[in-house]
Structure 1
């Protein structure tokens, strides 16, 4: 799970994908820009490896989408606070907010050649939507539990949807008391005796806790719940004695080499390799490439399915209106790539997908179709929807052909030279 990129910002010019709309061979979209003589700003190729991005909370999503016109990205960015971060969890805060507006910029194989190589050799999903209209924390919660909520401290099982700030303020009397009371996927994995691990690249997250324009990022470690590491805050993880499954990412490389990867793994970055502005996108690509190379060079490659995505759109432009599922979303499009010996090589998957599809795939593959459903999983919660069973949600099984000749490993250089300019 990488950070903060829209589909169009990475694959808007990818051949055959649902990228930028064109007319007479030219990009035909407009994002309202009161600074421009034409009143518009068009998408443009951005060769910069360090970006600023834009606000990406619920309010920002509404402005960006502009009632379905998808033309509010520049306006929202211009209206963003010009000061630094006052709240550690405020996704409106962004570095360099007095600098250039780059939310309409896009990259292609010149900046991210490995990502384009994976998309060409395996499966690219061009209708993968963030599961909610919020920012990083809700997205990471959806990735492990198909919900983002805030629970009552006095009645832990009383939870309600929350996409703004589902993280409760620490209880000074019980600072380490977990407070996510609804069910996450690890509970089903545990009860079905399926191995799992959540690998965290320890380091820092790009969060500020004061009003300065720049600040020291927040530390992230395996045992401490944070935005990109929510599982230590789930009550069922504690009750099941599974905290030890949250591990340093170095263990991933060891397990990949030894052929001892668990059945299900999540892998999340730190600030430097996350692609979250202002991180250098080539550092993120290098990190992801090293992970994929490790699997491909190990004994588990023959039975692996790697799903690569980005947690939210990061304020960057995308032209597709998200489908409406329930009170929580879907959110804007993000890139999705499937890498496996049995991936349907060169496929552009146009199914409507969200991170719920990952949970559905795991549940169908390992859990006999069990769902995160309070009517059947033995742990009551008040989630509004069993997301995995949504009619609109596609099936990741369509991205595989288990009768084909297995695709051999595609070992790529961690620091590749620039690729060719896109022509799609």
Structure 2
């Protein structure tokens, strides 16, 4: 049974700098499904293989099952728009079919077979069910073992990249449930503005221009948005701001297609993301600010890959609902979370090998989601401004999981990246 945090708690940790890097399009089971450094993880270790069928209503149709054999490089980008995601978790996206209270997580192969992987053989469809072998991702596997992971952290909405990225900053997607309006920008108020109003500093560093944070129209021309090389020099000199947001290389530009570092399924190796994380960690570990830093590694959404834990309900962030232009009379109410995503918390102020499950409040059904980021920043930095949205007020705050005294056994370097 969950406990509840007392309002107004004052924590004794020494975190003064939070660094957040958000990677792309991987479900929890995809990355951490076969971690085995502890038995206290809700993953696939010790479970019978979980299978999805090409036709969820026909158990004689071809099937693909979970296994730790996902390749580093794939030509496929599984569907993860709103209706594709609904099909993946419920086995249908027919707006006339009532959704069951608990998602069966049964339609990932079905959706792949009619979407991005249409016509592909079953051995290729199997990729949406597969996980990385922990031996092939030693950077993230080592960080999980040496620091803390969450096994019940959910994307903000069951849909694609930009609504989820915006939600990490604003605790709402402000009415976005797909990427179609990205060019117009989103004017939601963000945690960046709350920090600035409190006299605190922030920067967003990017590897590829334009960065996704340009979706926030209120910040688009801010001088606080700088190149990744500035992060490396600021960390080295001990000049990181109170809050840092790091943008990987997304492969949006043709010349960058083979060098992206965001972990997205596609033309580049997942090892690129491993190398990116390794550089960030080792740069921060050598920084004068290491002793006051908290590094948070998240993924924006599941990218069309299977996860076995049904996403829960959540409160509508701000009262906005959307009339679906493709299905007259159908309204999306922003009351469902997306799938679990891998999240790692790294700092001398977190326990070694800790696994965080559901949060201790603030409500009996609270969950960790992308809105937990502004919620925790508000707590760590003692912001007196109100929560950005009802979703932020409801989401778990992970400050209480930090230590009162810092560790001295954190590794200075990480293993070599594996090319697989």
- What is the Cα-based RMSD across aligned positions, in Å? 2.5
Aligned residue in 1 for 2:234:
255
SS in 2 for 1:181: coil
**Which runs of 5 or more residues in structure 2 are unaligned?**
1-21, 91-99, 252-259, 317-332, 359-366
Q: Which moved more, 1:363-372 or 1:274-283?
A: 363-372
* DSSP-derived class of the 1:348 partner: strand
Q: Is the 8 A contact 1:200 1:249 kept in 2?
A: yes
The counterpart of 2:355, out of the listed 325, 348, 355, is 348
Taking structure 2 as the reference length, the TM-score comes to 0.76
1:61 aligns with 2:96: no
Q: Is the Cα–Cα contact under 8 Å of residues 81 and 97 in structure 1 kept in the other structure?
A: no
Alpha-carbon distance between aligned partners in 2 of 1:249 and 1:116, rounded to the nearest angstrom: 24
Show the counterpart of 1:157.
none
User: Which residues of 2 match residues 308-387 of structure 1 at below 5 A?
Assistant: 308-325=297-314, 326=316, 327-328=333-334, 329-351=336-358, 352-373=367-388, 385-387=389-391
Q: Which residue in 2 is equivalent to 1:155?
A: none
When residues 302 and 361 of structure 1 are mapped into structure 2, their CA distance, relative to the original with a 3 A threshold, is same
Once residues 177 and 207 of structure 2 are traced to their aligned partners in structure 1, the CA distance between those partners, rounded to angstroms, is 25
With the length of structure 1 as denominator, give the TM-score of the two structures. Answer: 0.75
Q: CA deviation at 1:409?
A: 3.8
Which residue of structure 2 lines up, in the alignment, with residue 402 of structure 1? 404
Which of 388, 391, 395 matches 2:392?
A: 388
Structure 1 portions without partners, runs of 5+: 84-95, 150-160, 171-178, 203-219, 223-227, 374-384, 419-424
Q: Which residue in 2 is equivalent to 1:198?
A: 204
Pairwise CA distance, 1:26:
4.6
- Distance in 2 between residues matched to 1:81 and 1:341, nearest whole Å: 42
C-alpha separation between the residues in 2 aligned to 1:370 and 1:406? 35
Q: Which residue of 2 aligns with 1:11?
A: 32
Q: Report the secondary structure of 2:134's partner residue.
A: coil
Mapping 1:30-179, distance limit 5 Å: 30-34=51-55, 39-51=62-74, 52-66=76-90, 67=100, 68-81=103-116, 100-101=124-125, 102-149=127-174, 161-165=175-179, 167=181, 169=183, 179=185
Match of 1:208 in 2: none
Tell me if the contact between 1:287 and 1:414 (Cα under 8 Å) persists in the aligned partners: no
From the superposition, tell whether residues 97 and 389 of structure 1 become closer, same or farther in structure 2 (CA, over 3 Å): farther
Query: Judging changes above 3 Å, is the alpha-carbon distance between structure 1 residues 194 and 315 closer, same or farther for their aligned structure 2 residues?
Result: same
Other structure's SS at 2:136 match = coil
1:58-80 Cα offsets, whole Å, 9 max, x none, are: 11111111141101000000010
Say yes or no: does 1:187 pair with 2:197: no
Q: CA deviation at 1:364?
A: 1.1
Residues 32 and 195 of structure 1, relative CA distance in 2, 3 Å threshold:
same
Aligned mates of 1:320, 1:196 — CA distance in 2: 34
Q: Secondary structure at the match of 1:244?
A: coil
Picking from 274, 282, 285, the partner of 2:262 is: 274
Once residues 288 and 249 of structure 1 are traced to their aligned partners in structure 2, the CA distance between those partners, rounded to angstroms, is 13
Q: What's the offset of the Cα at 1:369? A: 4.6
Shift in Å, 1:81: 4.9
